[in-house]
């Protein structure tokens, strides 16, 4: 015997039943449609928003940190509070010798408002002194040429890596000024590379707007001696910068006569903590999105339960006649549940399709040459949403279906 659920006539009847009250069916279906769409959009949107935010850190080492020296805030060994101090090359060497947990320890220098020239063209901006290991902290985009290397630093070469914006200002119409000369603060340097950056981090000036010199060359040109502006760090896998900070303070403070408990005398900008904050933020956003979506879904499911109750009430006599002519309780249950399942399936699929289209448009609008945020849900998420809706929709119709099964033919025929 053919099962009722596979009977095409049965499905035609279901469609006709739902079409009798178009307004009620539409409003209930819209509740399911909107719940599905909102849940999918919120989940996919949370992922895309995280990608969009993380794009600001693209090319920057996630497990990195930066050390700055600040004025002391406590007196110590005859020194008054408010004393200024500065890290130096010896501190860098001591860090390298005492912190095997760090894979990169490199110094950086900066001067602002420095004039760079090429003939009649000039540019006032930032000039930085870096080592080759700088590229391990912030990965530069090299448009042409190369970055500063270890040989440049070791012999103090008079070479410069120029930011793309600076190159465009000083060499208009020139595709690549690599090999040409640039005058920085009155000294001529040979350009070996044109660089930029993909992220939005401004670390003593953006690369696109800076001129980079080998650190040794910078110290000599700007008479810095052995003083260091900042020390940049990258921890090895499985290590955290935050866990090393107390030892770093002890190492620095003991040499520069700073109170051991003066935490504000050395600023530690821990990039890894920022990444963890972003991750935790979007975990919360995802949970909130799921809560809102499920709440909307619940409203739609309640609507299905209500419409099934009304349908059972309106069709009491019809159900009684079916029972009188031999319809089995199972046939009645399948009939009622099928109506809820059909409404849930149609509205749910429409909601998923709408969400996919909305997310796709958002992804297209936010994409650029750097990256494409993933404003989308994966197949697994779509299936889970659909299965969840189907199960809840079926359960919502189960109580009305059970009530319909219990209707006695004689009572149903007398119902008015």
Cα–Cα dist 207/169, whole Å:
14
Tell me what the mean pLDDT of segment 25-52 comes to.
77
Question: Which pLDDT score is estimated for 392?
Answer: 72
Tell me what the mean pLDDT of segment 70-75 comes to: 93
- The segment with the largest mean pLDDT, out of 143-152, 196-205, 328-337, is 143-152
State yes or no: pLDDT of 145 exceeds 90.
Answer: yes
pLDDT tens figures, 150-160? 999 999 999 99
pLDDT score recorded for residue 173? 86
Q: What's the rounded mean pLDDT across residues 147-151?
A: 95
Q: Quickly state the pLDDT bin for 411 (edges 50, 70, 90).
A: low
The highest-confidence range among 30-39, 60-69, 229-238, 313-322, by mean pLDDT, is 229-238
Highest mean pLDDT among 33-42, 288-297, 345-354: 345-354
Please state the φ and ψ torsions of residue 159, each to the nearest 5 degrees. -125, 160
pLDDT of residue 377: 75
By the 8 A CB rule, do 163 and 196 touch? yes
User: Measuring CA to CA, which residue among 409, 335, 336, 350 is closest to residue 382?
Assistant: 350
Helices (H), 119-163: 134-137, 150-155
Structure tokens at 310: 């009304």
pLDDT digits (tens, 9 = 90+) for 306-319: 766 766 666 666 66
Cβ atoms of 213 and 131 within 8 Å: the answer is: no
- Residue listed under structure tokens 């989308």: 376
Structure tokens given for 405 = 């099964």
pLDDT mean across residues, the chain: 81
User: HEC profile for 39-93?
Assistant: HHHHHHHHHHHHHHHHHHHCCECCCEEEEEECCCCCCECCECCCCCCCCEHHHHH
Q: Which residue has the higher pLDDT, 352 or 2?
A: 352
Closest CA to 177 of 197, 196, 160: 160
Q: Between 250 and 290, where is the model more confident?
A: 250
Query: What dihedral do alpha carbons 148, 149, 153, 159 form, nearest 10°?
Result: -40
Predicted pLDDT of residue 323: 65
- pLDDT at position 101 over 50: yes
């Amino acid at each position: 015997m053919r099962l009722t659920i596979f009977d095409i006539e049965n499905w035609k009847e279901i469609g006709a039943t739902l079409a009798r009250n178009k307004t009620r069916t539409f409003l209930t279906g819209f509740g399911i449609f909107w719940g599905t769409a909102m849940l999918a959009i919120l989940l996919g949107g949370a992922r895309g928003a995280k990608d969009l935010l993380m794009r600001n850190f693209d090319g920057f080492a996630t497990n990195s940190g930066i050390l700055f020296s600040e004025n002391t805030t406590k007196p110590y060994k005859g020194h008054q509070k408010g004393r200024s101090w500065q890290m130096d090359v010896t501190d860098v060497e001591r860090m390298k010798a005492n912190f095997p947990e760090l894979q990169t320890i490199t110094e950086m220098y900066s001067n602002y408002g420095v004039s760079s020239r090429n003939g009649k063209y000039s540019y006032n901006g930032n000039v930085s002194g870096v080592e080759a290991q700088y590229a391990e902290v912030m990965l530069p985009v090299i448009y042409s040429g190369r970055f500063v290397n270890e040989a440049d630093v070791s012999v103090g070469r008079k070479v410069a890596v120029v930011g793309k914006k600076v190159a465009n200002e000083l060499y208009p119409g020139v595709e690549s000024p690599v090999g040409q000369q640039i005058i920085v603060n009155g000294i001529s340097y040979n350009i070996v590379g044109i660089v930029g950056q993909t992220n939005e981090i401004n670390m003593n000036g953006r690369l696109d707007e800076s001129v980079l010199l080998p650190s040794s060359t910078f110290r000599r040109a700007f008479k810095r001696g052995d003083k260091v502006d900042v020390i940049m760090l990258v921890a090895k896998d499985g290590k955290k910068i935050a866990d090393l900070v107390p030892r770093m303070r002890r190492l620095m403070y003991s040499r520069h006569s700073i109170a051991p408990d003066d935490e504000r005398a050395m600023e530690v900008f821990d990039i890894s903590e920022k990444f963890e904050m972003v991750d935790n933020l979007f975990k919360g956003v995802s949970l909130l999105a799921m809560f809102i979506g499920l709440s909307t879904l619940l409203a739609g499911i309640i609507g299905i339960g209500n419409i099934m109750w009304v349908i059972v009430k309106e069709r009491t006599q019809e159900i009684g006649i079916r029972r009188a002519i031999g319809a089995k309780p199972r046939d009645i249950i399948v009939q009622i549940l099928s109506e809820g399942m059909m409404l849930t399936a149609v509205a749910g699929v429409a909601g998923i399709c709408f969400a996919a289209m909305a997310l796709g448009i958002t992804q297209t609008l936010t994409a650029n040459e750097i990256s494409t945020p993933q404003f989308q849900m994966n197949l697994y998420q779509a299936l889970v949403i659909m299965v969840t809706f189907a199960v809840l929709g079926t359960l919502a119709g189960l109580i009305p279906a059970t009530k319909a099964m219990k209707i006695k033919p004689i009572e149903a025929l007398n119902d008015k």
